[in-house]
Amino acid sequence: MPLQLNLIMGVRFLQKQHQVVQEEDGSVNVLICDEFAFVKTSLEEEFLQSVFPVVSSSKTSKIIIVSTPNGMGNEFYRIWNKAQLKLSNTTDKRLTWKTLQIDWWEVPGRDENWRKIQLESFNNDQTRFDQEYGNSFLGSAETLIKANVIKNLKEVFSKNSLEPHEIQLNKDYESTKVLLYEPPIRGHAYVVGADPSMGTDADYHSLIVYDITNTFKIKQVVGFYKNNIPPKVFSYIIAKIAMLYNNAYVAIENNGCSQTVLDALWRDFDYDNIIHVGGNIKTNVGIHSSPELKMEACVNFKAYIEDPLRSIQYNDGRLLEEMEKFEKKSKIGKMPTYGAKDGHDDYMMAAIWGLYPLKMDIIDNYYDVKKTILNKLGIEIPLYVMSYDDENEVRQSYINSLDQKFGSLVKNYEDNYNNLIDETSENAIEDFIRKNNLNEVHYEKENDKQQVNHEEDDFAFRLFIPGQQ
């Protein structure tokens, strides 16, 4: 039988009284937690960690968390948000959260007159009303994208997002998997936004492919997000995806760790459909980022996302999760910038760079702009865009060549690795001496030494040579 618990009393009480919510077989049937968003975050986490093993011991057990919103900095919001965005921290399907939202107008007896009375009781503070009755999570006002716009994007995501197909770009290497939402369409224009990392389990290699054929109906058609692959493998993934999607142009920085990925993309895999902005075009390619240029890219992204006449469909909830935490950061004497409030912003940056080439002064150099219009400020913007690439047979030969280059690169890496292992074997020193005509000096051990006396504070310690009888 269901049992309602009030968590305000804290976790320790619940842990001491856990036998109250257990059945005779030691498992929980239904556990209901009320006003969970108002429990201290440390207690929320501790409680869930302690109760999950008990609940998961039964195939029929359930946890129901009920609460009105209390901002975004608590465990209740994180659970709710991940469930809405189809994200999960566990592979156990029995521990997947399902969401149910009940709005104030769905409660019997609550109408517009009731809303006005309640609003007056809050001194006409709409924000307080929205939090208490409107299921509104109050986030920071410093996010790049307005909260109501992100809310709309999440609603569209929950209704219209496409299920991904996990595609392995190279059948011999599992690390080349991407999430594919729509296949390439002949003649359509695509752009790849990429944000590399070091591939050392810290920041993420991130990639997004946009269909920009109709710039007022942009779609995410591919996604990639992984933090444990070498930079050159990410270069291969970028090159192959870009080739498959009509030789799409790649928008990627050439600063910092991005340079390693960009060099391999250009030199090892011979992919040169790369957007160039800033820097010296004779000596490098890519986007030469600076605080000013990054801010320009962020402003461009904001203009596209917040334009009420445009629609941009994102199919990966991780991007929307990062968007919600992408906030303004200011330091005295420095230009403001944007970044993650906490966690990562790699997917967000890939998305920002992916839309940056849609600026009219950039896109006209790389794509076939079929039609333009003037925005409300009188600035010309692209409307319909097509790819210049239409040689499927030629593109397939390039793809085959790319796979061969990647296979050779991996084989060379494996050979070098095996050689390294061989060189550090037990015979490595002997081989080194022999190959370089060196001589090792040996000293004879003195085995006939007698015991040694050491006196200290009138005590005698007898030290024996190891192995001496």
169-178: pLDDT as tens digits: 998 888 899 9
SS3 assignment, position 352: helix
Q: Is the pLDDT of residue 469 over 50?
A: no
302 in a domain, yes or no? Answer: yes
Q: What is the CATH number of the domain that holds 178?
A: 3.30.420.240
Q: Is the pLDDT of residue 1 over 70?
A: no
Q: Which domain holds residue 36?
A: 3-100
Average pLDDT, integer, range 443-463: 51
Look-up: residue for tokens 């990925």?
A: 261
Q: Confidence band (pLDDT; 50, 70, 90) for 188?
A: very high
Residues 89 and 216 in one domain: no
Residue ending a domain, choose from 410, 438, 455? 410
Give the separation between CA 427 and CA 422, rounded to whole angstroms.
9
Average pLDDT, integer, range 4-9: 33
Residues 76 and 216 in one domain: no
Q: Is the pLDDT of residue 140 over 60?
A: no
Which H or E element spans position 16? helix 11-16
162 in a domain, yes or no? Answer: yes
More confident residue, 68 or 245: 245
Give the separation between CA 127 and CA 138, rounded to whole angstroms.
8
Give the separation between CA 251 and CA 190, rounded to whole angstroms.
11
Note the pLDDT of residue 127. Answer: 67
Give the separation between CA 209 and CA 314, rounded to whole angstroms.
10
Residues 219 and 93 in one domain: no
Note the pLDDT of residue 179. Answer: 94
Q: Which two tokens stand for residue 165?
A: 């197909």
More confident residue, 352 or 98: 352
Q: Which two tokens stand for residue 241?
A: 């995806």
Give the separation between CA 83 and CA 206, rounded to whole angstroms.
22
Tell me the per-residue pLDDT of 328-354, one tens digit each, with 9 for 90 and over: 887 777 778 888 877 789 999 999 999
Instruction: Report whether 358 contacts 383 (CB < 8 A).
Output: no
More confident residue, 62 or 424: 62
More confident residue, 306 or 439: 306
Residues in Cβ contact with 348 at an 8 Å cutoff, skipping those fewer than 6 apart: 319, 322, 323, 326, 340
Q: Which two tokens stand for residue 168?
A: 């392995």
% of the chain exceeding 90 in pLDDT:
30
Note the pLDDT of residue 17. Answer: 37
Q: Confidence band (pLDDT; 50, 70, 90) for 446?
A: low
Q: Which two tokens stand for residue 336?
A: 């403001």
Count structural domains, the chain.
2
What pTM, to 2 d.p., does this model score? 0.70
Q: Confidence band (pLDDT; 50, 70, 90) for 462?
A: very low
User: Residue 296, exposed/middle/buried by CB under 10 A (0-12, 13-18, 19+)?
Assistant: middle
Alpha carbon of residue 393 to chain centroid: 35
Q: Is the pLDDT of residue 65 over 90?
A: no
Q: Is the pLDDT of residue 185 over 70?
A: yes
* Mean confidence (pLDDT) of the chain: 79
Residues 264 and 338 in one domain: yes
Closest CA to 227 of 245, 263, 260, 202: 202
Which H or E element spans position 243? helix 231-244
% of the chain exceeding 70 in pLDDT:
76
Report how far apart, in Å, the C-alpha atoms of 146 and of each of 14, 122, 134, 176 are. Answer: 39, 24, 18, 35
Residue ending a domain, choose from 39, 66, 100? 100
Give φ, ψ of 344 to 5 degrees: -115, 155
Q: Confidence band (pLDDT; 50, 70, 90) for 79?
A: confident
Q: Confidence band (pLDDT; 50, 70, 90) for 423?
A: low
127 in a domain, yes or no? Answer: no
Q: Confidence band (pLDDT; 50, 70, 90) for 182?
A: very high
Question: Strand 452-456 to strand 368-374: parallel, antiparallel, or no bridges (unpaired)?
Answer: unpaired
Minimum mean pLDDT among 20-24, 124-128, 221-225, 344-348: which range? 20-24
Average pLDDT, integer, range 281-288: 80
Average pLDDT, integer, range 394-408: 83
Question: Strand 380-386 to strand 368-374: parallel, antiparallel, or no bridges (unpaired)?
Answer: antiparallel
Residues 93 and 151 in one domain: no
Facing residues of 167 across strands? 178
Q: Which two tokens stand for residue 112?
A: 């517009």
Give the separation between CA 389 and CA 367, rounded to whole angstroms.
9
- C-alpha dihedral over 36, 37, 42, 45, to 10 degrees? 60
Give the separation between CA 60 and CA 30, rounded to whole angstroms.
9
More confident residue, 233 or 330: 233
Residues 155 and 279 in one domain: yes
Q: Confidence band (pLDDT; 50, 70, 90) for 7?
A: very low
10 in a domain, yes or no? Answer: yes
Note the pLDDT of residue 238. Answer: 96
More confident residue, 24 or 412: 412
Residues 53 and 192 in one domain: no
Residues 94 and 153 in one domain: no
Average pLDDT, integer, range 301-310: 92
Q: Confidence band (pLDDT; 50, 70, 90) for 89?
A: low
Note the pLDDT of residue 93. Answer: 54
375 in a domain, yes or no? Answer: yes
Q: Confidence band (pLDDT; 50, 70, 90) for 255?
A: confident
Average pLDDT, integer, range 215-228: 94
